[in-house]
Amino acid sequence: MSAAKTLLFVTSNANKLAEVKAILATTGITVESKSIELIEIQGTIEEISKDKARRAADNVGGPVLVEDTALCFNALKGLPGPYVKHFLKELKNDGLVKMLAAYDDKRAQAVCTFAYCEGPGQEPILFEGRTDGKIVRQRGEPTFGWDPIFEIGGSTYAEMDSYQKNKISHRFKALQKLKAWLEEKHGGGVAPPPAAPQRIDRRNLGGHEVAQGGNFFDSFGEEVKPRAINIAGDGMGIRKETGRGWQFDNPN
């Protein structure tokens, strides 16, 4: 079995896609996407993710990556877990907070499970990331799901910028495992060979580090791939992802 450098991420969730692209932006892994509302079975997080991957592989007839996210309340023995989407839809964030009103224990875990399936009939492989936090009354921009009520280190996910969240999130941790696995499959690295070094003159613009002279760095301090850079008539401009996704700065 050979793993792909280009991943087809099947998801109906634009926020997930933006985060995955941002986190993998400098790794040499290309993320393509297809929006399909996959049927999700009941079961454990692992069973649901694997089943989702099989359905997606059958649908596209080739290698796919899917992801399932769970929010597990300690006091409720892991519930709502992978069913959080339905709870969020009906109860909203306030209702999720109220579910824990009778308990002192507000601890929760955000769990992200990626499932990679090489194709129809193949066994999916799982990569899981967990981040511990606690459930609080909502704070921050309500742009993504339950981000405003999941607090870690004094801030909710919604109060963090995408750089901060993507450094510690359940999704980041799961993608680190996926990346390591892909690197192993490709015998030591999926990133293309670096371009010849040019003058590096790092500046810090609004928390996003960039370099002048042709070298551009993302907020992880890694070089931005050339395909993310637009060559404008008068110099370099860097494409900005929208929403809470990746942000590049224009050094000009």
Ligand X SMILES: O=c1[nH]c(=O)c2ncn([C@@H]3O[C@H](COP(=O)(O)OP(=O)(O)OP(=O)(O)O)[C@@H](O)[C@H]3O)c2[nH]1
Question: What's the rounded Cα separation, in Å, for the pair 63 and 54?
Answer: 10
Q: Which of 147, 151, 209, 218 binds ligand X (CB under 6 A)?
A: 147
Site for ligand X contains 144 (CB under 6 A): yes
Confirm or deny that 68 is annotated as ligand binding.
Answer: yes
Residue carrying the six token digits 């921050």: 140
Six-digit token string for 81: 């877990």
Question: Which one of the spans 9-17, 21-29, 94-102, 172-180 is the region binding ligand X (CB under 6 A)?
Answer: 9-17
Site for ligand X contains 166 (CB under 6 A): no
Contacts (CB under 6 A) with ligand X, residues 72-111: 84-85, 88
Q: Is 48 helix (H, G, I), strand (E, B) or coil?
A: helix
Smaller CB separation from ligand X, 43 or 235:
43
Six-digit token string for 29: 């892994």
In the chain, the amino acid numbered 50 is K
Write each residue from 34 to 63 as x if it is in contact with ligand X (CB under 6 A), else as -, in one continuous string. ------x-----------------------
Is the omega angle on the peptide bond into residue 80 within 30 degrees of 0, that is, cis? yes
Contact 194, 187 (CB under 8 A): no
Site for ligand X contains 69 (CB under 6 A): yes
Smaller CB separation from ligand X, 128 or 209:
128
User: What are the residues binding ligand X (CB under 6 A)?
Assistant: 11-13, 16, 40, 67-69, 84-85, 88, 144-147, 157, 171
